[in-house]
Amino acid sequence: MTARHVCTVVLLVAGVGVLLLSAACLVVLPRPYQRLHALTPATSVGGPLVALAAAVETGPGRAAVKLVLIGAVVAAGGAVTTMAIGRATAQHDRLLQRNSPQ
């Protein structure tokens, strides 16, 4: 096994571990806000780690750059999506006014 394969396996195991832990927490936690907290690591850490593992496995080149960019978009998009869902849930629960700038 080469160093690249070892690095890939470590990144992949870490990413899948985060995704499985987030999924388990999603099933256990009762409230929407708690579920958002459980899903945030999946999009912020788990997905990008899996994409990085795939990029390391493919080696240098365009495919690796594309995979790293996909991981970055997933990380950034996951945070934005979590904030939007939290805001919509707060508005639905009447904790926040509809047109509030906060």
In angstroms, the CA 93 to CA 51 distance is: 36
DSSP 1: -
Structure tokens at 33: 């806000």
Residue 32, both tokens = 């929407």
Which stretches of the chain are DSSP H helices?
3-28, 32-41, 47-58, 62-92
**pLDDT classification of 54: cutoffs 50, 70, 90:** very high
Alpha-carbon gap, residue 18 to 14, rounded angstroms: 6
pLDDT single digits (tens) 55-101: 999 989 999 999 999 999 999 888 888 888 888 888 888 887 777 66
Residue type, 51: A
